[in-house]
Amino acid sequence: MLVAERGQSLDALLAAETGKPQERGLLRSLCYGTLRWHIRLSAILAQMVSGPATRLEPEVRALTLVGLFQLLHTDIAPHAAVSETVNATRVLDEPRAASLVNAVLRRCQREGKALGEQVDANPAVRTAHPRWFVEQLDVDWPSDATSILDANNGHPPFWLRVNRQRTTPADYLDRLLAAGMKASLSAHAPEALLLAEAVDVKSLPEFAAGWVSVQDAAAQLAAHVVKPQAGHRVLDACAAPGGKTCHMLELEPELAEMVSVDASGERLERLQQNLTRLRLKGTVVKGDAETPESWWDGQPFDRILLDVPCSATGVIRRHPDIKLLRRAADIPALAERQGNMLERLWPLLRPGGRLVYASCSVLRAENAGIVEPFLMRHREAMDVTGSLPLSWPPAGQQYGEREPGRRLRPGEASMDGFYYACLQKSHG
C-alpha cells in the first residue's frame, strides 16, 4: 500500500518477491485486494481512529488496512486475521501500536456492517474509486458507469493467446482439458482461451516452447484490427512488452518487416525475450513515437499500430494501484502526448495504408477526444473501424453515433476496457 501511495508500481515490487508459491500467492492476494478496496477501507478506518487516520505511522496504517481487508473481503478466519495483523506490528518494530491495531480490528468485527453502511452513502467510497474518476465515468458512460465500477473491483480473468504457428485454439483447449484445466474459447478474439482459474504459466502445456502467451482478449483484437498482410511493412509503436507485436507475427509470418519501437530499453528487453520464446523475428528499435525523425529510416509503413501510453483506466481490475497512482490532472498531459504521437506517426504511413489508434483507457479524452479532431484536421484520413469484419462483443453505450472508433467497457465479454480506431489514408 505504501508503494502505491508513494507513486510506485506494486507490480514491479512483487515481481522481485521470492519464497514458496503459496506464500507469494497469499501476499499478492492481500496486497492487490487491499489496494482494490483501499479508498473504502481508509474511510472505514477514519471512523475508528480518533483524529485523521493519516496520523498513524504510515507502516501501521497500511498494516491496519490489510487487516480490515481480511475481515471485510476474505474468507480468512477473523481470529487469524486479527492475531496475525497484531503480531505484524512487532515485525515492523511498532509494538506500541499492537493495542491500537487490535482495538480497531475488534471493533470492525463488531460494527463492520454499520461502519460500511455509513461510508457507502458516497458512491465513490462505496465502489472504492477516486471521486474524479467516478464523476468522469458519469459523463463518458452515463448508462454503464455502475457496471464499469463493479467490473473494476472483480478479479481479472486469465486469458491466453494461442500461437497459430504452433497449434490451433481448439487443439490447445483439448490439451488444457487433458491437463485438468477448465477453459473455453472466446466468441470474439479468435486465438483467445479463457481459463476458469489462474495458473502458474510454467504449468501451461508447451508454454516454454512458445505455444501460448498470456494476453487479455481485448488486447488480442489489436492484431485483427491492424490485419497485416504478407509483404507488408508494419510498425508497432510503443510496442513493449511485445504482446501485440508477437501476435501480428504469429498471424502473418510473411511480413516484409515488423518494426517494434519503444522508448524503454528495459521493456524492450522483455519484448525481445518474448520474440525469442515464441521463435519470432522482428526489428527492435529504441525510440520515442513523438520523435520518429530520431529512428525512422524513411521507408513508409503499410500498417501502423499506435497503442498509446494512457491512464490505463480500462485495466484497473488488473492493476488496482491505478486508483491511487492516477490523478485527474494527469489526463490532459497524457492526451497532449497521445495527440502528438498520432500526428507525428501519420506521415510514416503509406497512402492506402491503415493506422490503428488503440488505448486501454475508458476516458473519452484519451480516445475519441484524440481521434475526432485528428480526422477533422486530416481530410485524407477516414475512420473505417465500423466496416471491419470483426466479431465485436455486444456494444456498450458508445460516445455517439457519429464518433469515431469502437470502445469496449471493462467486463464486457470478460474483456478489459479498450478503445480502437482504424484510420485509413487515402491515395489522393
Supply the residues annotated as catalytic. Answer: 360
How many C-beta neighbours within 10 Å does residue 312 have?
20
- Asked if the peptide bond before residue 205 counts as cis, ω within 30 degrees of 0, the response is no
User: What phi and psi values does residue 361 have, to the nearest 5 degrees?
Assistant: -105, 150
Sign of CA dihedral 158, 163, 168, 171: negative
User: What phi and psi values does residue 22 have, to the nearest 5 degrees?
Assistant: -65, -40
Is 229 within 8 Å of 256 (Cβ atoms)?
Answer: no
Q: Determine whether 130 is exposed, middle or buried from the number of CB atoms within 10 Å of its CB (0-12, 13-18, 19+).
A: middle
Grid cell in block for residue 234: 508494419
Alpha carbons 388 and 392: distance in angstroms, whole number: 10
Task: Return the CA Rg of the chain.
Answer: 23
Alpha carbons 248 and 279: distance in angstroms, whole number: 13
How many C-beta neighbours within 10 Å does residue 172 have?
24
User: What phi and psi values does residue 357 have, to the nearest 5 degrees?
Assistant: -90, 125
Quote the Cα angle for 366-369-375, to 5°: 120
Is 346 within 8 Å of 371 (Cβ atoms)?
Answer: no
Alpha carbons 185 and 188: distance in angstroms, whole number: 9
Grid cell in block for residue 345: 506517426
Q: Determine whether 99 is exposed, middle or buried from the number of CB atoms within 10 Å of its CB (0-12, 13-18, 19+).
A: exposed
Alpha carbons 249 and 258: distance in angstroms, whole number: 8
